[in-house]
Amino acid sequence: MALLSGHDIIPQVTNAGSDKYQINQSKLMKTLLLILGKETNEFAKGNYNQSLFAIAVETLKAHYNILTTIVEEGYDVPEEIAKFKQADAVIFQYPVYWFMMPSTLKRYLDNVYAYGEFFAFSGGEYGSGGLMKGKKFMLSTTWNAPIEVFNNQNKYLCLIFN
């Protein structure tokens, strides 16, 4: 899988010498899989990630076939594998807890990324056995922390361990 950028998602519009703008169809992906990996807790309802997910679905459906999974609502492993195979790109939306993805999303990945479907042991260099060739991906994460936390290398660990 390769990293997905905004340029890959947003339709490329050109003015091909005419007075009308045209979308360059050759650059457009056809199917996107959007995965919402939020968890609903008493202290964190997941509303922000839910909203970002809903906005992405609503915005992108005008240009793409959209497949969705809301991990917390349950999933069928063979159906999820089929969605990954169909998708040109996968977008994960989730909060980061303690520098990690939510446990439900981790469990989803452990269940769905099946041997023989997503990877195989090729006998080559470590990590060379990927079977989902040519796909792109994007991680859209939320952190619930002010910018000052990210700009101070010592403050976070000091708050925990002091």
For range 74-100, the mean pLDDT: 95
CA distance 147 to 5: 23
| Cβ partners under 8 Å of residue 56, min gap 6 | 34, 91, 93, 140
Yes or no: say if 34 and 66 are a contact pair by the CB < 8 Å rule.
yes
Residue 24 domain-assigned? no
**Helices and strands per DSSP (H, E), number in the chain:** 6, 7
**pLDDT value at 17 more than 80:** no
CA distances to 93, 119, 161 from 102, in Å: 11, 23, 23
- Residues 93-146 have pLDDT tens digits of 999 988 899 999 999 999 999 998 999 887 888 877 888 888 999 999 998 777
Confidence of residue 161 (pLDDT cuts 50, 70, 90): low
Residue 125 domain-assigned? yes
What is the structure's pLDDT at 147?
74
Q: Between 90 and 2, whose confidence is greater?
A: 90
Yes or no: say if 45 and 103 are a contact pair by the CB < 8 Å rule.
no
Residue 14 domain-assigned? no
Q: What letters, b where the CB count within 10 A reaches 16 and e where it falls short, cover 90-112?
A: bbbbbbeeeeebbeebeebeeeb
Q: Any idea what the CATH number is for the domain that residue 136 is in?
A: 3.40.50.360
Percent of the chain's residues with pLDDT above 90: 51
**Quick one: which of 162, 142, 146, 143 has its CA closest to 154?**
162
Residue 23 domain-assigned? no
Residue 19 domain-assigned? no
**pLDDT value at 1 more than 50:** no
**pLDDT value at 75 more than 50:** yes
Domain count, the chain: 1
Residue 9 domain-assigned? no
